[in-house]
């Protein structure tokens, strides 16, 4: 199986030994505490689950700036986005302390991790602007990822963490949330050698379904990892339980048996376009995927990124040999009325726009809310029914 990024083995930071975990929980009751942002809480989950191998915890300002500018830590590890614990007020925290990190996403804000504090620093306005601009390619506060980052605070608490829980993800998505360790174990159990990963924060329509099948055929993959984001999204995006149900129905009815693993991960969407696409590739390698689909406007939002910027970054800014995973570059995929099948639009040069079944997200939402059936060429009827039920009762 493909090696994890930057390591011969996964380095999950979740304390799996029950007795040790209980001791840490008891210790945490007497430690100074900090309530995390949702973003930092999800960073903890990703560190705990092994997705962020080989990181040991939260980055310092020096590492964060280095990652923002060069996609490498000061020690030379390739990493595409800063992983920070940003808080509004760290006046009660000092280097050398152990602190309890509280989870804002669970009632009562229970302790999610214990952090060993290596440094407590204040971001300058200039440093924050650098991190924002390099990560998101914009400083526009209308960008949801920029707005989220800039609202977290400017105090940076760096140092390693010991993770005590997976926040709400294990309880709310017991059939879907999986750690990188669990995904690797299942891939091994299935005997898959080649695995193509598909990232989604949306339900899967016909184009997504066929794209997965095209990628599997082109790469000769033994199976497909459909890996959905389960954390927070921007307003208007479809909630995770609805997406989960829709995807499961599609796979059940329209994929060969035992060809797809349906899983999810506990992270809030960054909407960071190219940089987030690279992050997605890194942690899919940590899952055990050998290939990863990068499509049109991957991890994008609005008009902040070019249609294929998320593919081009792998050629322009990721040094050759840095990642073990291979990128499957996909074009916009749509149903061709001429050919009566889903195609990549680049493979149909004789087509005009009207030869494809194309619906905007806005149009799809309006049709579902009005109880109108989506074209069968665009969405499987069983999937459309699940989505229509959600929109009509939202």
DSSP type of residue 134: H
The answer for residues whose C-beta is within 8 angstroms of residue 208's C-beta and 6 or more apart is 198, 200, 202, 333
What are the helix (H) ranges across 49-192? 61-70, 125-136, 144-150, 169-172, 180-190
288 contacts 184 by C-beta, under 8 angstroms: yes
Residue 201 bears catalytic tag: yes
- 3-state secondary structure at position 119: strand
Element (H, E) at 262: strand 260-265
Q: Taking a C-beta distance cutoff of 8 angstroms, is the pair 41, 167 a contact?
A: yes
Q: CA-to-CA distance for 129 and 136, rounded, in angstroms?
A: 10
393 included as an active-site residue: no
From the candidates 137, 178, 184, 201, give the one annotated as an active-site residue. 201
What's the rounded Cα separation, in Å, for the pair 98 and 166? 20
Q: Which helix (H) or strand (E) holds 224?
A: strand 223-229
Residue 347: name the closest of 251, 244, 218, 224 by CA: 218
Q: What are phi and psi of 235, to 5 degrees?
A: -55, 140
Q: Which of 98, 202, 248, 365 is an active site residue?
A: 202
Beta strand 223-229 with 341-344: parallel, antiparallel or unpaired? Answer: unpaired
Residue 353 DSSP symbol: G
CA distances for 257 relative to 35, 251, 254, 289, 347, angstroms: 44, 9, 9, 19, 29
Nearest to 147 by CA among 270, 274, 229, 58: 270
- Residue 213, class by beta-carbon neighbours within 10 Å (0-12 exposed, 13-18 middle, 19+ buried)? middle
- Decide if 226 contacts 260 (C-beta within 8 A): yes
Q: Is 216 helix (H, G, I), strand (E, B) or coil?
A: helix
Q: Catalogue the active-site residues.
A: 201-202
């Amino acid at each position: 199986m493909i090696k994890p990024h930057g390591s011969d083995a996964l380095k999950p930071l979740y304390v799996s030994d029950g007795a040790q975990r209980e001791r840490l929980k008891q210790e945490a009751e007497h430690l100074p505490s900090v309530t995390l942002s949702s973003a930092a809480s999800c960073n903890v989950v990703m560190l705990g689950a092994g997705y962020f191998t080989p990181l040991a915890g939260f980055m310092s300002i020096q590492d964060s700036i280095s990652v923002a500018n060069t996609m490498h830590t000061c020690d030379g590890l390739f990493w595409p986005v800063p992983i920070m614990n940003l808080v509004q007020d760290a006046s009660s925290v000092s280097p050398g302390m152990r602190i309890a990190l509280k989870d804002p996403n669970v009632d009562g804000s229970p302790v999610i991790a214990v952090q060993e504090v290596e440094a407590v620093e204040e971001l300058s306005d200039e440093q924050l602007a650098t991190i924002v601009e390099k990560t998101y390619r914009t400083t526009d506060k209308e960008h949801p990822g920029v707005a989220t980052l800039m609202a977290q605070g400017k105090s940076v608490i760096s140092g390693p963490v010991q993770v005590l829980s997976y926040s709400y993800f294990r309880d709310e998505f017991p059939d879907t949330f999986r750690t990188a360790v669990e995904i690797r174990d299942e891939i091994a159990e299935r005997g898959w050698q080649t695995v193509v990963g598909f990232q989604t924060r949306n339900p899967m329509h016909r184009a997504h379904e066929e794209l997965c099948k095209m990628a599997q055929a082109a790469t000769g993959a033994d199976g497909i990892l459909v890996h959905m984001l389960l954390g927070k999204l921007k307003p208007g995006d479809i909630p995770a339980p609805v997406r989960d149900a829709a995807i499961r129905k599609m796979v059940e009815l329209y994929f060969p048996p035992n060809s797809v693993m349906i899983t999810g991960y506990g992270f809030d969407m960054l909407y960071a376009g190219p940089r987030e696409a690279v992050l997605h590739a890194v942690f899919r390698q940590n899952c055990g995927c050998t290939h990863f689909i990068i499509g049109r406007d991957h991890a994008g939002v609005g008009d902040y990124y070019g249609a294929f910027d998320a593919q081009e970054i792998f050629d322009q800014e990721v040094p050759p040999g840095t990642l073990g995973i291979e990128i499957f570059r996909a074009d916009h995929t749509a149903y061709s009325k001429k050919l009566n099948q889903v195609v990549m639009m680049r493979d149909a040069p004789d087509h005009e726009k009207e030869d494809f079944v194309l619906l905007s997200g806005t149009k799809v939402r309006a049709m579902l809310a009005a109880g109108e059936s989506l074209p069968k060429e665009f969405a499987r009827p069983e999937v459309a029914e699940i989505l229509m039920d959600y929109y009509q009762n939202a």
